[in-house]
Structure 1
Amino acid sequence: MEGVRVLEVAQFTFVPAAGAVLAEWGADVIKIEHAEKGDAQRGLVKALGQDVVSKSSTFAPIMDGPNRGKRSIGLSLEKPESKRVLHELIRTSDVFLTNFLPNARARLGIELEDVRAINPDIIYTVGTGFAHSGPEADKGGYDATAFWARAGCADSVTPVGSEWVVNQPCGAYGDNIGGMTIAGGIAAALFARTRTGIAPTVDISLLGVGAWATQLNVNLALMAGGPLPKPDPRAGNVSNPLSGLHRTADDRWLSLVMLQPGRYWRDFCDKVGRPELADDPRFDSAEKLMANAREASGIVADIIRSRTKDEWVVAFEDIEGQWAVVQNTYEVGHDPALRGIGQIGDLVDAEGETRQLVASPVQFNQEAPQLKRGPLFAEHTDEILREIGLTDDELLDLKIAGAVT
């Protein structure tokens, strides 16, 4: 994306995460923040019950994550004096990226027709909560509402008889998935512009991303003519003893997903030290193994419960079937597979301290991206204004007028 400029007028994570991905791919992403208030997400001090700002520096994963590698300009779009700057930035950009609602876009002069009047070749991109048009186009949403609740994710993971609905597993879960989706849409739109000379618009909703994530279940429900029955996770897999979650001796969990039990059964039995089970007349063929899956699943559960997680990691090191440890987020941050390819990368914060963030998952030529911190509020205002040709006196006038900071 080197040579591509993205102009971002967006807050929180869903759409800014797309700008972060594009910046990681080499784009010059200029983030417009309100000259006084900045991105509203800068005002959050706690999330998931945790402090989101480092006590020793300005590093804040809640901001540095979705804003890595960008440049920030403080610009009050509601002030007439800001229009010259806004229009010049639009004129020199390839992509306009926003999650502002239609009324706000119209009031600030950043609707499609406003932006295209200045730059007809710009890729105009909007991330919405529910839809780009129709009765809910003006309705705001977060991933907890549009992606998780409305799109069927929450209901799908909430067990029958539960006293509460299961929350998203992680903060900004749907936002980050959606941001990657937007980045892919923008890449396709840039490719289309190169091939056809016509710049398409890009519209992506959190509800749409959530529906795509749950599409298998949604599609099956449509075919069945009603909501799918919920399986009881405590009952195990009724047809495959090598697919399911199992508790270890130290109360950790392993996920077995060996979808061809007949193929993997003998190797599994050898690795767990029970080779006789492979020739047990109840389990000595794929058909018998599936027919007696409940009995076999109980045996597998007892076997897994007999050793610790670390012992199984050693025992299953070269097993052919597919399995994984159920890791916590700290373990994910130290996962050797991720660290081995630079998926967990270092960056230097504004105070010069080395920090770490998860990199976006796409790699080109098997090279890890070079991570850069997110910008401080309005950190690059003077730099950007000088790039578009403003003199120091003009810059000062804009500051006095409150149009920039």
Structure 2
Amino acid sequence: MTAENPQTTTQPGALSHLKVLDLSRVLAGPWCTQMLADLGADVIKVERPGAGDDTRHWGPPFLKDAQGKDTDQASYFTACNRNKRAITLDIALPEGQALIRQMAAQSDILVENFKVGGLAHYGLDYASLQALNPRLIYCSITGFGQTGPYAERAGYDLMIQAMSGMMSITGRPDEVPGGGPLRVGVALTDLFTGVYACSAILAAIEVRHRTGAGQHIDMALLDVGMAILGNQAAGFLNTGQVPQRQGNSHPSLAPYQDFPTLDGAMLLAIGNDGQFARFCQAVERPEWAADPRFASNTLRVKHRAALIPALEAVTRTRRTAQWIALLEDKAVPCGPINDIGQAFADEQVNARGLVVNQPLALAVCAQSAIKSIATVASPLRLTATPPVLRRPPPALGEHTDEVLAELGLDAAAIAALRARRVL
């Protein structure tokens, strides 16, 4: 973490007054609760004894020890579990259920992503816990929501990208080499569901300030997958035209895509006529801006087939870095197409302190042979109450004794629970 990173602050975060009980696993729920944790909330992550969150085992890649060798701990888990305290608890056992109720009674927020009705079997559904704590904000995250014909189906990001139409607009057209529907390279609907869930929780907190009452939040990956179709959905709903895949080009803008260069490729993202005119001047083709086929964005989109080959002939004459140097002071959006390694080496990424390294507790280091964990910094940059870095992604059950002691259990009681495999 660089010295410029605003998350080096030790002051309390914006949500330091809130307690969150995190019964979620994999990505959407943990992404939501990590956002809350980064903003200062005390998040208690509950995992299955012995196994933990599925993503602890989703590798490769795996975390490496001090000698650079793979451990048995997948890096996936570290992406969305920073700043949390982790306990192990078997909620299938009555004693485990009783402890969840005790924690829920003292919590502001509960986040879970069990199948619809799954927690009702244990008496841990919203109605049961709301009776214990009327102020509880209970957020359920499922594939298809609490209602509708698909409510009881399991939902995964890949399924939702396919069902929502996202894959139908991602990739190259069928008629070109490599054509066909593709998923986005990260679990996009999971991540967006986590962000939407966090927003809904913060809205419910605001309502509770006025009413004193919590509420149930029903988040569905399919709902989010449809919502984030954005302008593509708007186009279909208002014209009836089904959007098609067109690679890296934009359905409503031109030129707005990748272009070949002398040593690879670059991105041009020209969004208005002024930018296009400045580009034409820079490449010594001012006549293009006055050409009746290209004089406006609408015309450029209409005559894309003539425009793009003409531009490609010019962009092939310089290296990517030369194009960026030529255009960056002319307010023409242009950039490289980085791989992730190149992105993290970028000077702007480093200046913003987007990589953070957190040392592990000594006991965890001894157990895992891992000294520290690197994660991507929170992009939330609040000037008065910025995100805080308190804890690295936790080891399985790392804080079980600490959390249960806060509930009033002594060492003997905790040992007895562990002996009965409740913990």
TM-score, length of structure 1 as denominator length: 0.88
Cα 1:240–1:26, aligned 2, differ >3 Å: closer, same or farther? Answer: closer
1:353 aligns with 2:366: no
Q: Secondary structure at the residue paired with 2:318?
A: coil
- Equivalence for 1:77: 91
Measured after TM superposition, the shift of residue 132 of structure 1 is 1.7
- 1:128 pairs with one of 127, 142, 145: 142
Rounded to whole Å, the distance in 1 between the matches of 2:47 and 2:299 is 60
- 1:310 pairs with one of 302, 309, 321: 321
Rounded to whole Å, the distance in 2 between the matches of 1:212 and 1:289 is 29
Cα 1:259–1:280, aligned 2, differ >3 Å: closer, same or farther? Answer: closer
- Equivalence for 1:168: 183
Query: Does the 8 Å CA contact 2:169/2:181 hold for their aligned counterparts?
Result: no
Amino acid at match of 2:377: A
CA offsets per residue over residues 188-246 of structure 1, 9 Å max, x none? Answer: 11111112222122121111111111032223222233523x26459x67996533321
Amino acid at match of 2:234: N
Listed as ranges, the gaps of 5+ residues in structure 1 are: none
Which has the larger displacement, 89-98 or 275-284? 275-284
Rounded to whole Å, the distance in 1 between the matches of 2:78 and 2:241 is 43
Cα 1:206–1:115, aligned 2, differ >3 Å: closer, same or farther? Answer: same
Query: Does the 8 Å CA contact 1:81/1:401 hold for their aligned counterparts?
Result: no
Rounded to whole Å, the distance in 2 between the matches of 1:69 and 1:353 is 17
- Equivalence for 1:329: 340
Which has the larger displacement, 288-297 or 381-390? 288-297
1:23 aligns with 2:37: yes
Rounded to whole Å, the distance in 1 between the matches of 2:136 and 2:94 is 23
Amino acid at match of 1:364: L
TM-score, length of structure 2 as denominator length: 0.84
Identity %: 24
Aligned CA-pair RMSD: 2.8
- Equivalence for 1:257: 269
Measured after TM superposition, the shift of residue 26 of structure 1 is 0.6
Rounded to whole Å, the distance in 2 between the matches of 1:233 and 1:403 is 52
Rounded to whole Å, the distance in 1 between the matches of 2:298 and 2:82 is 54
Query: Does the 8 Å CA contact 2:141/2:219 hold for their aligned counterparts?
Result: yes
| Aligned 1:385-404 pairs, distance under 5 A | 385-404=404-423
- 1:203 pairs with one of 218, 224, 242: 218
Measured after TM superposition, the shift of residue 16 of structure 1 is 1.0
- 1:144 pairs with one of 140, 158, 172: 158
Which has the larger displacement, 335-344 or 174-183? 335-344
| Aligned 1:209-358 pairs, distance under 5 A | 209-225=224-240, 227-228=242-243, 230=244, 232-233=246-247, 241-254=254-267, 256-261=268-273, 263-272=274-283, 274=284, 276-277=286-287, 285-286=295-296, 290=300, 294-349=305-360, 350-351=364-365, 353-358=371-376
- Equivalence for 2:194: 179
Rounded to whole Å, the distance in 1 between the matches of 2:416 and 2:393 is 28
- Equivalence for 1:153: 166
Rounded to whole Å, the distance in 2 between the matches of 1:246 and 1:377 is 47
Rounded to whole Å, the distance in 1 between the matches of 2:409 and 2:23 is 21
- Equivalence for 1:52: 62
Cα 1:113–1:248, aligned 2, differ >3 Å: closer, same or farther? Answer: same
Cα 1:21–1:279, aligned 2, differ >3 Å: closer, same or farther? Answer: closer
Listed as ranges, the gaps of 5+ residues in structure 2 are: 1-14
CA offsets per residue over residues 103-128 of structure 1, 9 Å max, x none? Answer: 42122221111211221110000111
Which has the larger displacement, 129-138 or 69-78? 129-138
Query: Does the 8 Å CA contact 2:270/2:276 hold for their aligned counterparts?
Result: no
1:365 aligns with 2:383: yes
Cα 1:224–1:385, aligned 2, differ >3 Å: closer, same or farther? Answer: same
Amino acid at match of 1:183: C
Query: Does the 8 Å CA contact 2:173/2:179 hold for their aligned counterparts?
Result: no
Cα 1:265–1:391, aligned 2, differ >3 Å: closer, same or farther? Answer: closer
- Equivalence for 1:14: 28
